[in-house]
Amino acid sequence: MKSPRDVRSAAVVINAGSRRGAAHELAVDTMRKAGVPVSAVHAVLSGGELAGTLDQVLADGHDLVVVGGGDGTVSYAAGRVAGTNVVLGVLPLGTANDFARTLEIPSNLAEACATIAEGKVVDIDLGRANGEPFLNVASAGLSVSVTEALSPRLKRYIGPLAYSIATVLAYARHKPFRARLEFPDGDHEPLELEDLLQVAVGNGRHYGGGNTVSPTAGIDDHLLDIYAILAGPLREHVSIARLLKDGSFIEHDRVYHLTSRHVRLITEPLLPVNLDGEIAATTPTDFTVQRNAVHVVVPQSSTSALFDGPGAADQPPK
């Protein structure tokens, strides 16, 4: 499918517990009026419901699945449709909506619905952490504490500012850790690091409410961006934080950055791993990239990814 206009049947799956999930009825009505053949609508309130519902809509043979929710919801859905011909539509109803930002999908609900009806289809890569999917960034260290400090109530009432507040709270209780990065493809020598604040592996371009993985990161470049931040005085972390928006923090002398298609992270002590805002893995963790794994509807004006066509995921790397 090269265009949403080729859709035969669409299913809509909404995380009703997301920050703007209550608006799903308006979104469905808007899409139908725009000509999207919505034949099934499901509102879910838990991860278990989401898994079962996605299995159902895929089994029902819909060729477009529109998912409304935050980055965690969309990442999980992407993992379910990866490697199939089903096209994913996105309604950014969460707090950060970094995946939508990467693909230039509008945060305005009416405009996002118009994208579903009038956009184009592109192929994107999917990150895997011990097999679990992520679209934006997977990380261990400070970011996990930030996620733990991010209550649904905080996100609902103050939106993206919740990330800043949670980061301050997490930083105050962070304990440095050690890590070893191994590269099974042999493109880099193993890297031993001590006294770390965070290690992150990026598949997409944006994370954390608008931060940039690196100036060259892309969601269809078939590479993972890996960075490690050393712990240090508060003033050093403030200087790094000021560079997060454009990704230039990777040039800071307390940051290690490299790219690869496969990296294994081993930490001491063992640590939980955050996948797009959900704690869904633990170290040691193998990170890989699944090329051209997901077909997504984006605005006609989006330049963040291309359509390589069916079977591209099985072709040799470019």
Dist. CA 78–CA 282, nearest whole Å:
21
Q: Over the stretch 118-147, which tens digit does the pLDDT of each residue have?
A: 999 999 999 999 999 999 999 999 877 777
N- to C-terminal Cα distance for the chain? 22
Question: In terms of DSSP H, where are the helices of the chain?
Answer: 24-33, 47-59, 71-81, 98-102, 109-118, 142-149, 152-158, 161-172, 234-241
Contact present, 191 and 184 (Cβ < 8 Å): no
Give this prediction's pTM: 0.89
Contacts of 282 (CB under 8 A, 6+ apart): 270, 271, 272, 273
Number of Cβ within 10 Å of residue 179's Cβ equals: 21
Backbone angles phi, psi at 173, to 5 degrees: -115, 15
Contacts of 15 (CB under 8 A, 6+ apart): 21, 44, 45, 50, 67, 68, 69, 70, 73, 93, 94
Dist. CA 3–CA 18, nearest whole Å:
28
Point out the residues that are catalytic. Answer: 278
| Bridge-based pairing state of the strands 87-92 and 285-298 | parallel
Dist. CA 45–CA 166, nearest whole Å:
24
Q: Over the stretch 283-317, which tens digit does the pLDDT of each residue have?
A: 999 999 999 999 999 999 999 999 876 545 444 44
pLDDT score at 315: 47
- The share of the chain scoring above pLDDT 70, in percent, equals 86
Q: Over the stretch 39-89, which tens digit does the pLDDT of each residue have?
A: 999 999 877 899 999 999 999 999 999 999 999 999 999 999 999 999 999
Q: Which two structure tokens, joined as six digits, stand for 266?
A: 């081993």
Lowest mean pLDDT among 116-120, 171-175, 237-241: 171-175
What the chain holds in terms of domains, given with CATH numbers, is 4-124+293-300 (3.40.50.10330), 132-289 (2.60.200.40)
Place of tokens 């950060």: 96
Angstrom CA distances, 293 to 6, 191, 257, 312, stand at: 20, 29, 25, 9
At 101, is the pLDDT very low, low, confident or very high (cuts 50, 70, 90)? very high
3-state DSSP assignment of residue 295:
strand
For 234, counting Cβ atoms within 10 Å of its Cβ (0-12 exposed, 13-18 middle, 19+ buried), the class is exposed
Angstrom CA distances, 257 to 9, 36, 69, stand at: 43, 43, 31
